[in-house]
């Protein structure tokens, strides 16, 4: 079976280095927020080109702590998209704020900046820009809007480790960048982990305190914080993988190029990359009207696919009665019905990529036009 994502394959690629790093930690006497975390934070800040990076427990916590650092709380509103992982909205609610959801643009599936003015209110405090599927949102437009309106810009970079906008790494352009290091991400741990980046030293200091009970001095809480500490094992693993990230992302880009050149696009809509964006193809997402039939056809040929995402957040039972949306959410609704993620990870072999292309094209040939 060709899997849609395969984090175990990456472990095998770097197994000796990872096991050596983990064994070093196991033999040490420091397992949480030690030297490995500090070194990872320094290396990741250098990679993203920010003055600070802070390790936290997971990507959802990264977003929550970013908003807490910006003093966003009950009664405030945060604008983001409905076509995203539920973690983005869960983090907004975790600080007591109100999610305000807009549609995505029809070509690149990132936040539709045209709708921002429509949903803006005196309660709006921030925009969370989700860099979806591996490519950046239009950060020039978003930065300009936030500057004009006095809003904070938080980058949700959980699917875009290493991606660039106008030559700059995502996570270095807004006020704060938030990264999930869930195992399937471009930079994935073996378990949960997250990172926060910023060029604001005040925010960095506050986030470090927030992740550990509001401590600056141990056991003395300067303000209410929480426990969102990154452990040394995950930091050690991420340090190994960070050294390989650019080469692994290059492999993803090459696979995406082969898909785009090889798949017969008359039946499916292939992904596009906006000018100024360098995608790292966390996912390769096509659109197809009869998705269920293509899923079944590929599975019968030993190919697993995924759906990112099958139900817009504003329609989910937990949220549909409690959030505000833009009037037109038609692109989000259409994508929920049509998107399909093909296998994408650096360890896919040339033969496996060829098999996926052939299986999609065979389905296209066999399927009646609709």
Please give the model's pTM, rounded to 2 decimal places: 0.97
pLDDT tens digits for 109-168? 999 999 999 999 999 999 999 999 999 999 999 999 999 999 999 999 999 999 999 999
The count of residues in the chain is 370
Per-residue confidence (pLDDT) for residue 367, from 0 to 100: 67
Percent of the chain with pLDDT over 70: 99
Per-residue confidence (pLDDT) for residue 322, from 0 to 100: 85
Mean pLDDT of the chain: 96
pLDDT tens digits for 211-226? 999 999 899 999 999 9
The encoded tokens of residue 293 equal 């039939």
Sequence spans of domains, the chain: 7-102+109-239, 245-366
Dihedral angle computed from the Cα positions of residues 258, 286, 179 and 304, in that order, rounded to the nearest 10 degrees: -80
Please name every residue paired with 308 in a beta bridge, in sequence order, or none if there are none: none
The pLDDT of residue 290 is above 90: no
The pLDDT of residue 25 is above 60: yes
**Nearest-angstrom CA–CA distance, 63 and 128:** 9
Q: CATH second-level architecture of 7-102+109-239?
A: 3-Layer(aba) Sandwich (3.40)
CATH topology of domain 245-366: 3.90.1150
Please name every residue paired with 31 in a beta bridge, in sequence order, or none if there are none: none
The pLDDT of residue 51 is above 70: yes
pLDDT tens digits for 305-335? 999 999 999 999 999 888 999 999 999 999 9
**Nearest-angstrom CA–CA distance, 142 and 50:** 19
Phi, psi of 362 (to 5 degrees): -65, -40
Q: Where are the alpha helices (DSSP H) in 85-193?
A: 86-94, 116-119, 139-149
Sheet holding 164-165, edge to edge: 168-169, 164-165, 277-278
Per-residue confidence (pLDDT) for residue 222, from 0 to 100: 93
How distant, in Å, are the alpha carbons of 59, 121, 240, 299, 321 from that of 189? 12, 38, 10, 28, 35
Q: For residues 363 and 69, which has the higher predicted lDDT (pLDDT)?
A: 69
The pLDDT of residue 370 is above 80: no
**Nearest-angstrom CA–CA distance, 132 and 134:** 5
Per-residue confidence (pLDDT) for residue 368, from 0 to 100: 58
Strands 168-169 and 164-165: antiparallel
Range list of β-strands (E), the chain: 52-56, 77-81, 98-102, 124-130, 152-156, 164-165, 168-169, 176-180, 194-198, 215-217, 220-221, 277-278, 284-287, 324-325, 339-342
Per-residue confidence (pLDDT) for residue 267, from 0 to 100: 86
Lowest average pLDDT, out of 29-33, 185-189, 263-267, goes to: 263-267
**Nearest-angstrom CA–CA distance, 82 and 272:** 20
Average pLDDT over residues 178-205: 98
How distant, in Å, are the alpha carbons of 238, 305, 356, 357 from that of 301? 34, 11, 9, 12
pLDDT tens digits for 232-252? 999 999 999 999 999 999 999
Per-residue confidence (pLDDT) for residue 333, from 0 to 100: 98
CB crowding 238-272: b at 16 or more within 10 Å, else e: bbbbbebbeebbebbbebbebbbeebeeebbeebe
CB 171 within 8 A of CB 190: no
The pLDDT of residue 365 is above 90: no
Strands 215-217 and 220-221: antiparallel
Q: Is 338 exposed, middle or buried (0-12, 13-18, 19+ CB in 10 A)?
A: middle
């Amino acid at each position: 079976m060709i899997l849609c994502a395969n984090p175990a394959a990456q472990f095998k690629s770097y197994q000796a280095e990872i096991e050596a790093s983990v064994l070093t930690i196991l033999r040490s006497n420091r397992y949480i927020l030690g030297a490995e975390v500090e070194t990872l934070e320094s290396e990741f800040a250098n990679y993203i080109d920010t003055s600070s990076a802070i390790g936290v427990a997971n990507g959802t916590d990264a977003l929550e702590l970013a908003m807490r650092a910006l003093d966003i709380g009950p009664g405030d509103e945060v604008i983001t998209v409905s076509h995203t992982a539920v973690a983005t909205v869960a983090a907004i609610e975790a600080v007591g704020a109100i999610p305000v959801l807009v549609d995505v643009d029809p070509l690149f599936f990132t936040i539709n900046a045209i709708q921002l003015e429509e949903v803006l209110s005196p309660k709006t405090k921030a925009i969370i820009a989700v860099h979806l599927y591996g490519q950046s949102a239009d950060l020039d437009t978003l930065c300009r809007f936030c500057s004009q309106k006095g809003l904070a810009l938080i980058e949700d970079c959980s699917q875009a480790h290493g991606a660039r906008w106008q030559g700059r790494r995502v996570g270095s352009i807004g006020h704060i960048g938030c990264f999930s290091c869930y195992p399937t991400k471009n930079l994935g741990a073996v378990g949960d982990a997250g990172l926060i980046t910023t060029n604001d030293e005040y925010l960095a200091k506050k986030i470090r305190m927030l992740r550990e009970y509001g401590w600056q001095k141990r056991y003395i809480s300067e303000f209410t914080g929480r426990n969102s500490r990154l452990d040394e094992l995950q930091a050690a693993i991420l340090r190994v993988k960070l050294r390989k990230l650019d080469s692994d992302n290059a492999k993803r880009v090459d696979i995406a190029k082969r898909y785009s050149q090889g798949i017969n696009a008359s039946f499916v809509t292939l992904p596009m990359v906006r000018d100024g964006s360098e995608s790292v193809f966390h996912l390769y997402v096509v659109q197809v009207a009869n998705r269920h039939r293509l899923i079944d056809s590929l599975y019968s040929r030993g190919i697993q696919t995924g759906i990112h995402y099958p139900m817009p957040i504003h329609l989910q039972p937990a949220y549909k009665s409690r959030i505000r949306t833009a009037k037109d959410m038609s692109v989000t609704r259409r994508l929920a019905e049509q998107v399909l993620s093909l296998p994408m990870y650096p360890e896919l072999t040339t033969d496996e990529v060829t098999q996926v292309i052939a299986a999609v094209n065979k389905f296209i040939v066999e399927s009646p036009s609709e």
